[in-house]
């Protein structure tokens, strides 16, 4: 069951990042939102919910192995999702959002790096 949840979690994060970049680029500073912005925001929230639910399941199942690192990854995952929402909200209000965009990228890289390094990650699984 945990392998299926890992696949769901990875798939939801990949789609979440793609949808975030698409939503960010579908909002012009000069013209405002395109017709695809609102559906992309809804899709972003659906995949964010999937990522949080699958992440919670993995977090509670993996508490016996590296609980602290899984907790840090969980917090960075929540931070990444929160920064995504804040970036798009600032862009929607026509406030500067480029710094938040860079923070999303940094937080996502840290989160993905921790996920790859942890015992249930793909790199660690190759050497079992």
**How much of the chain exceeds pLDDT 90, in percent?**
52
Encoded tokens for 30: 């000069």
**How much of the chain exceeds pLDDT 70, in percent?**
91
Q: What per-residue confidence (pLDDT) applies to 75?
A: 95
Q: What per-residue confidence (pLDDT) applies to 84?
A: 95
Q: Are 20 and 44 in contact (CB under 8 A)?
A: yes
Q: What per-residue confidence (pLDDT) applies to 128?
A: 60
pLDDT interval class at 48 (50, 70, 90):
very high
Instruction: Report the 10 Å Cβ neighbour count for 100.
Output: 20
The residue-averaged pLDDT of 20-25 equals: 92
């Amino acid at each position: 069951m945990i392998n299926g949840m890992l696949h769901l979690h990875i798939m939801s994060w990949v789609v979440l990042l793609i949808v975030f970049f698409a939503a960010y680029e579908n909002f012009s500073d000069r013209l405002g939102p395109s017709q695809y912005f609102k559906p992309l925001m809804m899709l972003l929230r659906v995949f964010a919910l999937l990522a949080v639910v699958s992440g919670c399941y993995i977090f509670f199942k993996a508490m016996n192995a590296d609980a602290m690192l899984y907790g840090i990854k969980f917090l960075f995952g929540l931070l990444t999702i929160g920064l995504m929402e804040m970036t798009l909200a600032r862009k929607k209000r026509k406030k500067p959002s480029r710094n938040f965009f860079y923070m999303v990228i940094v937080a996502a890289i840290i989160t993905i790096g921790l996920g790859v390094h942890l015992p249930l990650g793909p790199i660690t699984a190759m050497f079992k």
